[in-house]
Chain A
Amino acid sequence: KAGVTQTPRYLIKTRGQQVTLSCSPISGHRSVSWYQQTPGQGLQFLFEYFSETQRNKGNFPGRFSGRQFSNSRSEMNVSTLELGDSALYLCASSLRPPGQGSPEAFFGQGTRLTVV
């Protein structure tokens, strides 16, 4: 069974631009979550989607947004990029719906975003 796939793996953008990252969950998984990993702040939860609906949101500005499609694939978008947005963005998928049982999350390899 294929794991969580994130594309692209690496991305370089200029300050002020916007970027879209993609995540394909494990087949059959309908919950998708996004995390930001930086050396200073560590791993921080961005948001979670289930059945095309955002179920949970972390403490990030509105420049960070996401969506989920009917096939459970998800995208996250960051507009007006800032230098501080440079990070590893990780996507995770879960089998169980939010709030129902053990939230075992399987992570992709991440997208390394560099803002210059």
Chain B
Amino acid sequence: AQSVTQLGSHVSVSEGALVLLRCNYSSSVPPYLFWYVQYPNQGLQLLLKYTSAATLVKGINGFEAEFKKSETSFHLTKPSAHMSDAAEYFCAVSDLGQAGTALIFGKGTTLSVSS
């Protein structure tokens, strides 16, 4: 069964500091991987996706993620945090072999940004 593990339920950074949110996946075949962001009382917004075209994926709002097959990881980074980045972030996986678009989500990481 597919699974996603997000290390750290809460990450705190200062404004301007590097943001690193960790995600490891379990998949028997190369997966599709996604990062979503959720602001309070809102739905999920897609930040970026990995679909095997390139291992370094650039997304919106300055975020990027690198797919590392050897480490089964897809960590999300941003060079300089902004106050508006404070939100909950979810890593998700969808197996190529699954006959559907069901996403399996990690438990989420809440990012706090202090001034």
List residues of chain A with CB under 8 Å of any chain B CB: 4, 6, 31, 33, 35, 42-45, 48, 55-56, 58, 90, 92, 94, 96, 98-99, 102-110, 112
Contact = CB atoms under 8 A, between A and B. Distances in A.
Contacts of A43: 90, 92, 103, 105, 108
15 contacts: A4-B43, A35-B103, A42-B107, A43-B103, A45-B104, A48-B102, A56-B99, A56-B101, A96-B101, A98-B101, A99-B98, A99-B99, A103-B101, A109-B41, A109-B42
B24 interface: no
B44 A33 contact: no
A28 to B, nearest CB: 15
A interface, over-half SS: strand
Nearest to B52: A102
In the A-B complex, the 5 residue pairs with the smallest Cβ-Cβ separation, listed nearest first, are: A56-B100, A103-B101, A43-B105, A107-B43, A107-B44
Nearest to B102: A45
B interface, size bucket: 20 to 34
A72 B94 CA distance: 22
A55 B46 contact: no
A42 B34 CA distance: 16
B101 A42 contact: no
Interface of B: 32, 34, 36, 41-46, 49, 51, 90, 92, 94, 98-108
A56 B102 contact: yes
A55 B107 contact: no
A55 B49 CA distance: 23
Contact of A102 (B32, B42, B107): B32
B6 to A, nearest CB: 10
B101 A90 contact: no
